Structure 1
Amino acid sequence: MKKIDSIPTSKMDRVAKLVTTGVKVGGNYLKYYGEKVVNPGLTKDKLHEENATDIYDGLKELKGSALKVAQMLSMEKNLLPQSYVEKFSLSQFSVPPLSAPLVRKTFKNYFNEYPEDLFDEFSPNSINAASIGQVHKAKKGGKNLAVKIQYPGIRESISSDIAMVKPIAIRMFNLQGTSDEYFQEVENKLTEETDYKLELAQSESIRIDCEPIEKLLFPKYYPQWSSDNIITMDWMEGIHLSEYCATETNQKKRNIVGQTLWNFYMFQIHQLKKFHADPHPGNFLVDAEDNLIAIDFGCMKEIPESFYTPYFEISAPETLQNVNLFNAKLYELEILKESDTPQEIAYFTNLFHELLSVFTKPIHQANFDFSDQSFSNEIAQLSEKFSNDKTLRKMNGNRGSKHFIYVNRTFFGLYSLLFDLKAKISINDFQKYLK
């Protein structure tokens, strides 16, 4: 894989790269429509494939929050054409790494020492690279270690990246009025992900809190070999969850991993009220004993009680069956507003009732089979319906608490992983860990 010797960090350089990518995508559309004149039956498959490649190639050079967007979109299997999902999935744990000289220089800037001076052994070639940083294998005092090094300039580029994306998102989602709190929420989380001292503290806290959960492992972290931009932890033997899903044929083992994953998230959400908000395959390993290994706690989301209570109350069967109670919870969650017109109230009440009636099916049962294709199809059909809904496009999309962004993202990501595992889950099993 080609290695990167530099990353665009200035706003001008990053805008230039996005403009170049946009020109390529525009060219793909022109070529497609030209070919369609000659061949009216031409599908958009090739167009999607070429656009996905060009967009991903541009984002992977920018890294940081730009590539993080691709990573988040790769989990939205029902919202994007398959070619985008496949290409953007590479951002989860396999992107072009920094070259060895740049790694050495970056490490020295962060730690005031070269890696070979700090560790007994240090591999200059990364084991895997993602959106914020890349991981190298090292050894110290006989311990095998994983050393995560943050890409240079990533933290400084977040605000300008968000500023570039904001006007596009406002137009796409029709965010009328103030939507600053949504963008601030995303920017805050991205900034937290670049604070490796915070990530180290969060990782240790989660490791201790979740220790009772069976079949769940965490690496140990080493503050003495870590800094604001470097994290050193135990090297954990295992394969990424996506590889496990592709190679493990024993459904009983897949169920065990799926149950551990479910228990891990439900325990965090309902006991800790703070959870790992980045559920994609690159953040989980599975070892030879089918233990789930959780890594990378840069993105953690805390749920205030004022959101937690109505969020789970609105999805309860008795609420879904009570029009007045359901309507009251919509106001509590800021989905409906006092300024809404009768048309908006009726439309969004129906929309969220339909959405929640499908999305909450797993938690309303004692056991749920995520290999059930009908459930996945229902979600896909809803996604397609809403994406083609012309009325929705005209409605003010600026609604709902800012906490929805990462809470919903986490549930969508968790469901996606469980779909991949085709796991059969005991929904309330996590309750045995609650205090």
Structure 2
Amino acid sequence: MKLLRLAKIIYVTLRFGLEEFILGHERFRWLRPLVMVALFWRPLDEPRAVRLRQALEALGPIFVKFGQVLSTRRDLIPADIADELARLQDRVPPFAPEIALAAIEKAYGKPAGEVFAEFDPVPVASASVAQVHFARLKDGREAAVKILRPAIAHVIAHDVALLYAGASLVESLWEDGKRLRPREVVAEFEKHLEDELDLMREAANGSQLRRNFQDSDLLLVPEIYWDWCHTSVMVMERMAGTPISQVDALRAQGIDIPKLAREGVTIFFTQVFRDGFFHADMHPGNILVSPDGRYIALDFGIMSTLTDSDKNYLAQNFLAFFKRDYKRVALAHIESGWAPPQTRVDEFEAAIRAVCEPIFDRPLKEISFGRFLLRLFQTSRRFGVVIQPQLVMLQKTFLNIEGLGRQLDPDLDLWQTALPFLDRWMNEQLGWRGLIRTIKTEAPQWGTLLPQLPRLVHRALSHAGDSEVQQLREELRARDARERRWMMVIAVLLALVLLGQLLPWLSLLLPESY
């Protein structure tokens, strides 16, 4: 089956003329006449951007997601391709209405007419994994119903298998392969794809995000209607808003676009550093803007989490980076184990400075993040920096946020917008407020743990398999045995001495005949 899927990928690539993107390179132009003769049979009437979008749609959800990410990077790809790939965000060809109705009947055991007061079989949005229909519940509430695409898990499984095969080739054939840890990256991507295929899990993600921003004046999250949720169907509150990609429409409504861009950065850093739980698929198709100028988050299939250690490490790096403290950035990489311990701090610091200095104090429109990322990659390769798979989704989301900010306000200063938030967050975490909050949080656990500490230590020592602990236990037993022997000897000697002192008195008490 893998070979059949690989054959399809090759066929689609040739069918839509995607080899054009490779043959356009100077090294391969000599192959163009040969390819044109060999593939004379295919019609290529559409522009290259349309053909690329059609090819990604034909190849399935993983490739569509790749196109979604690319669509936000107008600094990396030509405008015609970015405009066309933007159609992948919520205008993937939908599946037939009868399939949607059949999916609802299978999930609930009864037809849509008995589940909802009204159900529109024509979808309002269609994405790579699912599509959305509007409905009205029996109690009158307006709802949005998300339905998984049929047999989508089967297609994704084959694509992920091919990604693993490609990752193995990268590791074995490329000198940087093991450092990049491609198989771990694919595993991280696979985990998030599996989460996206379970709509009950997506509903739980949405509920958590709504709770995190319950009283926020920056972000709105729809309510999940749990009584109507299923692994293949999710029902939530219907939200009214304007797609964030329609900047002219937002401006006509009186929305402050620069303020909207700044608040998007704040929302991102709040999710990452305050909550450690963030929306990892924030392309424009998943975001609306309410009439009062607040963000509306949709589609919670791909969320990601960070541990406290990850958050602290990232915050220190971001803060040092924004303050141009490149030595601190270098030390953080070495202390965390991302860079080898023998790395020379001064050399690493100088290399990071050479990459980062050119992009500071510039608005987004003047920064080539493509060139910046390329130089950053070259630097990491030179110093043996290990790629962290658990942060792949964060890196992807950061690119989405940066692309969205560029689309909203090219004059946005990303660094100055983020710095006050990080300063405040670090003060709260490391200052006296953070200490008090930690004590309040941990006090109940300490109160429970302290009385149990002797028993827990004894249990740990009793069950420890560590050789040093085992050796210590044996030494303690031997010492105890020696001490017991000496105590016995001393006790016997004391007893003899005492008996010698008592014998004269005992002789007076005993009868003469005895």
TM-score tier (shorter): 0.7 to 0.9
Q: Larger Cα Rg: Structure 1 or Structure 2? A: 2
- SS at the partner of 2:133? strand
Alignment-mate amino acid for residue 212 of structure 1: D
Identify the residue that residue 138 of structure 1 maps to in structure 2.
135
Range with bigger deviation, 348-357 or 211-220: 348-357
User: Aligned match of 1:410 in 397, 410, 432?
Assistant: 397
What do the CA deviations read for 1:90-147 (whole angstroms, capped 9, x no partner)?
A: 1111111111122222333333333233111111111011111110011113222110
- Give the letter for the 1:18 counterpart: I
- Using structure 2 for the length normalisation, give the TM-score: 0.67
Cα contact 1:174–1:395 (8 A) shared by 2: no
Aligned to 1:191, the other structure's residue is in SS state helix
Q: How big is the shift at 1:241?
A: 0.6
Distance 1:356 1:301, change over 3 A: farther
**Does 2:368 match 1:379?**
yes
Deviation of the 1:355 alpha carbon: 4.7
SS in 2 for 1:134: strand
- Give the 3-state SS of the residue equivalent to 1:412 in structure 2: helix
The match for 1:233 is 236
| Cα pair 2:2 2:161 within 8 Å, conserved | no
- Counterpart CA distance in 1 for 2:4 and 2:237 is 37
Residue 19 of structure 1 pairs with residue 16 of structure 2: no
Alpha-carbon distance in structure 2 between the residues aligned to 1:305 and 1:247:
37
Match of 1:101 among 63, 82, 98: 98
Structure 2 residue aligned with 1:42: none
Greater Cα shift, 330-339 or 265-274: 330-339
Relative to 1, partners in 2 of residues 1:272 and 1:127: Cα closer, same or farther, differing over 3 Å?
same
In 1, Cα distance between equivalents of 2:94 and 2:183 = 33
Tell me, yes or no, if the aligned pair for 2:364 and 2:406 is still in contact at 8 Å: no
List per-residue Cα deviations over 1:125-171 (Å, max 9, x = no partner): 11011111110011113222110111122233333212323455637
Partner of 1:281: 284
Q: Which residue of 1 aligns with 2:298?
A: 295
Q: Is the 8 A contact 1:258 1:421 kept in 2?
A: yes
1:246-325 map, 5 Å:
248=251, 253-317=256-320, 325=328
Mean Cα deviation higher: 350-359 or 149-158: 350-359
Residues 140 and 207 of structure 1, relative CA distance in 2, 3 Å threshold: same
Cα distance between partner residues in 1 of 2:386 and 2:205: 30
The answer for the alignment partner of 1:175 in structure 2 is 177
Unpaired runs of at least 5, structure 2: 34-43, 429-436, 438-514
Render the CA deviation track for 1:211-260: whole Å, top value 9, x for unaligned: 22114222111111110111111111112110145652578622343344
Q: 2:115 aligns with which of 115, 118, 123?
A: 118
Partner letter of residue 72 of structure 1? V
SS in 2 for 1:406: helix
Do the aligned residues in 2 keep the contact of 1:244 with 1:286 (CA within 8 Å)?
no
Q: C-alpha root-mean-square deviation of aligned residues, in Å?
A: 3.8
Report if the CA contact (8 A) 1:65-1:161 is conserved: yes
Amino acid at match of 1:118: V
Closer/same/farther in 2, CA of residues 327 and 267 from structure 1, 3 Å limit: closer
Question: Conserved in 2, the CA contact under 8 Å of 1:311 and 1:333?
Answer: no
Give 1:59-78 correspondences, 5 Å limit: 59-78=56-75
Residue 337 (1) aligns with residue 324 (2): no
CA contact (8 A) 1:146 1:235 kept: yes
Partner-residue secondary structure (3-state), 1:137:
strand
The change in CA–CA distance for 1:259 and 1:167 in structure 2 (over 3 A counts) is same
Cα shift readout 1:12-60 (whole Å, capped 9, x = no counterpart)? 66434312222133664799758998xxxxxxxxx9x844433321321
Separation in structure 2 between the aligned mates of residue 36 and residue 164 of structure 1, nearest angstrom: 28
SS of aligned partner of 2:81: helix
Structure-2 separation of matches of 1:266 and 1:163? 34
Higher helix proportion: 2
Runs of 5+ consecutive residues of structure 1 not aligned to the other structure: 1-9, 38-46, 363-371
Structure 1: how far apart are the matches of 2:381 and 2:350? 16
Structure 1 residues 358 and 148: CA distance shift in structure 2, 3 A: farther
Structure 2 CA distance for aligned equivalents of residues 67 and 310 of structure 1: 32
**1:40 aligned residue:** none
Please state if 1:153 is matched with 2:151.
Answer: yes
SS of residue matched to 1:315: helix
Note the C-alpha offset of 1:204. 1.0
After superposition, the Cα gap between the structure-2 partners of 1:138 and 1:354, relative to the gap in structure 1 and judged at 3 Å, is farther
Instruction: Read off the aligned partner of 2:368 and give its amino acid letter.
Output: I
CA 1:27–1:212: 2 relative to 1, 3 Å: closer
Identify which of 77, 84, 89 aligns with 1:87: 84
Deviations 1:345-400 (A, max 9, x none): 999766544455567x58xxxxxxxxx6x43322346248649x9x6798698822
**1:367 alignment counterpart:** none
Checking the alignment, whether the CA contact within 8 Å between 1:320 and 1:326 is kept in structure 2 is no
Higher RCO structure (Cα 8 Å, ≥6 apart): 1
Report how many aligned residue pairs link the two structures: 399
CA change 1:155–1:338 in 2 (3 A) is farther
- What is the CA–CA distance in structure 2 between the aligned matches of 1:282 and 1:224, rounded to whole Å? 27
Identity %: 21
Sort the Cα spacing of 1:379 and 1:355 in 2 relative to 1 into closer, same or farther, 3 A: farther
Query: Hey, what's the Cα distance between the residues in 1 that align with 2:189 and 2:88?
Result: 18
Q: Structure 2 matches for 1:342-361, cutoff 5 A?
A: 352-357=352-357
Write the distance in 2 (CA, Å) between the matches of 1:236 and 1:150. 20
SS at match of 1:248: helix
Cα drift, residue 76 of structure 1:
2.7
* Amino acid paired to 2:229: S
Q: Secondary structure at the match of 2:246?
A: helix
| 2:280 alignment partner AA | A
Which amino acid letter does the alignment assign opposite residue 413 of structure 1? Answer: N
Contact (CA 8 Å) 1:196, 1:227: kept in 2 or not?
Answer: yes
User: Aligned pair in 2 of structure 1 residues 139, 250: CA closer, same or farther (>3 Å)?
Assistant: closer
- Contact 1:313–1:319 under 8 Å retained in 2: no
Distance in structure 1 (CA, Å) of the matches to 2:312 and 2:339: 17
TM value normalised by structure 1: 0.78
* C-alpha contact (below 8 Å) 2:12/2:58 kept by paired residues: no
Matched, 1:421 2:423: no
Distance 1:75 1:334, change over 3 A: farther
